[in-house]
Amino acid sequence: MRDVPLAELTRWKIGGSAPAFANASSERQLRQLLAELGGQPVLVLGGGANLLISDDGPGGPVLMLDGEFKEYEVRERSIYCGAAAPLSGVVQAARRASRAGFWILEAVPGTVGGALRLNAGTAEEGIWDRALWAEAIWPDGSKRRLRRDDVKPRYRGIDLDPGAIFVWTEIAAPPADAARVEEEHGQRREAKLAAQVYDQPTCGSTWKNPAPPAPSAWQLIDRVGMRGARRGGAQISLKHANFIVNLGDARAQDVIELMLETRHRVHEETGILLEPEIHFWGIPEEVLRELGAVR
Ligand SMILES: Cc1cc2nc3c(=O)[nH]c(=O)nc-3n(C[C@H](O)[C@H](O)[C@H](O)COP(=O)(O)OP(=O)(O)OC[C@H]3O[C@@H](n4cnc5c(N)ncnc54)[C@H](O)[C@@H]3O)c2cc1C
């Protein structure tokens, strides 16, 4: 498909159209699409829960995994997932089956593939602390099974060629005490819903928290008086200063301007350079550099 609008496929409801867009429902179909693209990299869209797409579009062909990649299965001591499986479904399945460890992904929107790319989780732990392995396919059609040591997970990131497309993973899910599992999930969900923004379009935390003992990103943003600041249709949330909300007609440019000003003011007043947590598509290299998204 050509010129497919992407905004509605993201949590922020922001972004231009993809010059080319396709869904892949099976590994065979995915390989076929990659072959048609002749090995050129493709952008994989998960739940769009951590992504800012330029108003001019993503700057390349976009792929969404679908069909068999949405499936997941609770096994004896693990959960086997396709990369397009909704995190919410996997996490609730783990909770119902009283499996340990999935509370770290409670109330985290998006897909398993996005979570693997971002090493989603809490400040202390990420999905790669639980993943036994994940398989990825490269634009040339080759496939590799990756383990923790291959991707060197860190806080909200991994070391992996951006062209790699996660397709399957198996996550450790040992049986645990049912009451304990219920309590961990309940507490995490309650804390997130109380502190974070779920009733407006956002992409979660905009910035990574600087390493301790530095204050967290929201504290730094508050310190420089940016809570509630507005550019066009984008506003730094009044509820959580590390979230930017789309008030209805925000453009990517509005979000970028808010981010640039925040980063500049935090740096001037505290000496700390914030680093974005969100990923960007189609944003010029020099802007990414100013945002701290590339070094
Ligand atoms: C209200 C709210 C709360 C949140 N809370 C948390 C939290 O507690 N912890 C946390 O870590 N995050 C949190 N997030 C951020 C977000 O939910 C996670 O980062 C999630 O993992 C993003 O997944 P996604 O499928 O939406 O990825 P997308 O936003 O679609 O994509 C993000 C990046 O991952 C890549 N990607 C997606 N799928 C694949 C794939 N199959 N293979 C390779 N690359 C892929 C994309 O190309 C892109 O570069 C929150 C977001 C919101 C809106």
**pLDDT tens-digit profile of 19-70?**
999 999 999 999 999 999 998 889 999 999 999 999 999 999 999 999 999 9
Label residue 227 exposed, middle or buried (CB < 10 Å: 0-12, 13-18, 19+): middle
Cβ distance 52 to 279 under 8 Å?
A: yes
**Is 216 marked active-site?**
no
Ligand 1 pocket by Cβ (under 6 Å): 11, 43-51, 65, 83, 108-111, 113-115, 117-118, 120-121, 165-166, 196, 198, 202-204, 279
Q: Which atom of ligand 1 is nearest to the CA of 109?
A: 17
pLDDT band at residue 1 under the 50/70/90 scheme: confident
pLDDT at 73: 98
What domains can be seen in the chain, in order of their start residue?
Answer: 2-67 (3.30.43.10), 70-195 (3.30.465.10), 217-291 (3.90.78.10)
- Tell me the CA–centroid distance for residue 47 and ligand 1, in Å: 7
**pLDDT tens-digit profile of 242-256?**
999 999 999 999 999
Cβ distance 268 to 252 under 8 Å?
A: no
Q: Looking at residues 104-131, what average pLDDT do you find?
A: 97
- Tell me the CA–centroid distance for residue 269 and ligand 1, in Å: 30
**pLDDT tens-digit profile of 72-100?**
999 999 999 999 999 999 999 999 999 99
pLDDT at 130: 97
Cα three-residue angle 255-121-207, rounded to 5 degrees? 25
Kindly state the percentage of the chain with pLDDT values over 90.
97
- Please report, for residues 37, 54, 196, the alpha-carbon distance to residue 231 in angstroms, rounded to integers and kept in the order given: 38, 16, 21
**Is 285 marked active-site?**
no
User: Which residue's CA lies nearest to atom 33 of ligand 1?
Assistant: 114
Measure the CA–CA gap between 156 and 122, rounded to whole angstroms: 9
Pairing of strands 143-146, 131-137: antiparallel
Q: Which atom of ligand 1 is nearest to the CA of 49?
A: 26
Please report the ipTM that was assigned to this predicted complex. 0.99
User: Which residue's CA lies nearest to atom 34 of ligand 1?
Assistant: 114
Which of the residues 95, 99, 156, 231 is marked catalytic? Answer: 156
Measure the CA–CA gap between 217 and 225, rounded to whole angstroms: 13
- Tell me the CA–centroid distance for residue 138 and ligand 1, in Å: 20
**pLDDT tens-digit profile of 207-227?**
999 998 999 999 999 999 999
Q: Ligand 1 pocket test: pick from 117, 127, 159 the residue with the most ligand atoms within 8 Å of its Cβ.
A: 117
**pLDDT tens-digit profile of 174-192?**
999 999 999 999 999 999 9
Which of the residues 27, 184, 275, 277 is marked catalytic? Answer: 277
Which of the residues 27, 54, 106, 205 is marked catalytic? Answer: 205
Write the DSSP assignment of the chain as a string of letters.
Answer: -EEEE-GGGSSS----EEEEEEEE-SHHHHHHHHHHTTT---EEESS-SSEEE-TT--SS-EEEE-GGGG-EEE-SSEEEEETTSBHHHHHHHHHHTTBTTGGGGTT--SBHHHHHHHT-B-SS-BGGGTEEEEEEE-TTS-EEEE-HHHH--BTTB----TT-EEEEEEEE--B--HHHHHHHHHHHHHHHHHHS--SS---S-SBPPPSTTSPPHHHHHHHTT-TT-EETTEEE-SS-TT-EEE-SS--HHHHHHHHHHHHHHHHHHHS----B-SEEES--HHHHHHHTS--
**Is 88 marked active-site?**
no
Cβ distance 116 to 145 under 8 Å?
A: no
Q: Which atom of ligand 1 is nearest to the CA of 51?
A: 29
**pLDDT tens-digit profile of 129-174?**
999 999 999 999 999 999 999 999 999 999 999 999 999 999 999 9
Cα three-residue angle 152-154-160, rounded to 5 degrees? 45
Measure the CA–CA gap between 34 and 68, rounded to whole angstroms: 17
